[in-house]
Amino acid sequence: MKVEQAIESLKAHGQDAVVERMAKLDKAGQEKIASQVAKIDWDVVESIAHQSEKQEEERIVEPLQAVELKEIEQKKEEYTATGVEAIQNGKVAAVLLAGGQGTRLGLDKPKGTLNIGINKDLYLFEQLINNLLDVVHQTDAWVPLYVMTSEKNNADTVAFFKEHDYFGYNGDYVKFFVQNMVPSVDYNGKLFMEAKDSLAMSPNGNGGWFLSMLSAGLEADLKAKGIEWINVFAVDNILQRIADPAFVGATIQSGTPCGAKVVRKNAPDEKVGVMCKVNGHPSIIEYYEIDEERANARREDGELVYGFGVILNYLFRLDTLFAIVDRNLPLHIVEKKIPYINDAGELMKPETPNGYKFETLVLDMVEMMDDCVPYEVVREKEFAPIKNKTGKDSIESARALLTENGVAF
């Protein structure tokens, strides 16, 4: 996009402040911003104006039957055998979602490079690879690993893996791809700038992972390898089991195109999204969306009817991902702390949220599936997310859980 066109586009969308800043830049700076403007989807940026207009469609919420621990105990061998066979036949790949910015942790580097070790180094990426290596040893097969990064952290992430020799993984089985970016805006919809010659751009949420994979040209690779299932997982759960054979096997045996690892809610009001059915489709209903009656409803055995929370570990059948790839995922407008330059050109790092980012979420892909099987795992063994600096879901809580699971660090 030419500089003049970018200026016209910015003016047409009420972004005169950016135009004024552009006027003070040299040609290279102006061209840099013009290239960012060229990629802006104004419908996305301007969607904040329609936030309150969202019409609540009628939703029929029902429970969704999970494969629970008791059943898993009984069928563990059978599930594991099915999963191991699929992995050995090269049908299972994993996608590490590492494009996020970890704003709650206030990190400058990729979240996966966080060192949580005390007596020795233990990086988040390293522990995830260790977890995946358990499966490699169990199956005697490498699981192809695709790592989603963003424009902001791709170079650091790739360099980190190389520098650490893939933490013992086979580098031939690791591929990186970069997700798309969207601009961030203040509460009035005005574009933030993060440098004199750059708009504040942020990754477009973890829901774009499959499209970004295809944009990166990885379809050929998936097909050449004969991949049929993809296990998508978050970077920040240090106890994350990846390509877990029993989970893979249970999902395959269920005949559904999707599996979701879930943990039992520890209280009716715990703040996690729970798996259920909405209008006949598998869905994740957020804790603030569920009414009190449902949140407290109990089954005959005393357990919660809506009792399973998701942990961002999903298994999707590849053919169903292709089938939904053209459908638009809903856009989430999320309040975040967005660094920006002020009028004096100084970089400000706000302590509290100051604007919006736009994200699509992987959990909305689940809703597009005809069915999905929740698969229960033991929270203390598989769920140690690191989201916050202190307290709940922090480095300290994750360290405690690592110790409980016999991991030295």
| Contact residues for ligand UTP, defined by CB under 6 A | 97-104, 111, 148, 179, 203-206, 234-236, 312, 359, 387
Beta bridge partners of 356: 185, 335
Query: 82 or 313, CB closer to ligand UTP?
Result: 313
Query: 99 or 257, CB closer to ligand UTP?
Result: 99
Q: Which residue is at the shortest CB distance from ligand UTP?
A: 100
Contact (Cβ atoms closer than 8 angstroms) between residue 265 and residue 309:
yes
Query: 152 or 317, CB closer to ligand UTP?
Result: 152
Amino acid at 333: I
Query: 183 or 249, CB closer to ligand UTP?
Result: 183
Minimum Å distance from CB 158 to ligand UTP? Answer: 15
Minimum Å distance from CB 189 to ligand UTP? Answer: 20
Three-state helix/strand/coil letters over the chain:
CCHHHHHHHHHHCCCHHHHHHHHCCCHHHHHHHHHHHHCCCHHHHHHHHHHHHCCCCCCCEECCCCECHHHHHHHHHHHHHHHHHHHHCCCEEEEEECCCCCHHHCCCCCHHHCECCCCCCCEHHHHHHHHHHHHHHHHCCCCCEEEEECCCCHHHHHHHHHHCHHHHCCHHHEEEEECCEEECEECCCCECEEECCEECEEECCHHHHHHHHHHCCCHHHHHHHCCCEEEEEECCECCCCCCCHHHHHHHHHHCCCEEEEEEECCCCCCCCCEEEEECCEEEEECCCCCCHHHHHCECCCCCECCCEEEEEEEEEEHHHHHHHCCCCCCCEEEEECCCEECCCCCEECCCCCCEEEEECCCHHHHHCCCCCEEEECCHHHHCCECCECCCCCEHHHHHHHHHHCCCCC
Minimum Å distance from CB 332 to ligand UTP? Answer: 10
Distance between CA atoms of 345 and 341, rounded to whole angstroms? 5
Residue closest to 260 by CA, chosen among 271, 278, 239, 244: 244
Minimum Å distance from CB 147 to ligand UTP? Answer: 10
Contact (Cβ atoms closer than 8 angstroms) between residue 156 and residue 113:
yes
Query: 125 or 229, CB closer to ligand UTP?
Result: 125
Contact (Cβ atoms closer than 8 angstroms) between residue 309 and residue 262:
yes
Alpha-carbon 207 to chain mean position:
7
Minimum Å distance from CB 172 to ligand UTP? Answer: 23
Minimum Å distance from CB 112 to ligand UTP? Answer: 8
Minimum Å distance from CB 232 to ligand UTP? Answer: 9
Minimum Å distance from CB 206 to ligand UTP? Answer: 4
Minimum Å distance from CB 115 to ligand UTP? Answer: 17
Query: 52 or 390, CB closer to ligand UTP?
Result: 390
Minimum Å distance from CB 81 to ligand UTP? Answer: 30
Query: 235 or 295, CB closer to ligand UTP?
Result: 235
Minimum Å distance from CB 260 to ligand UTP? Answer: 15
Residue with tokens 């100084």: 346
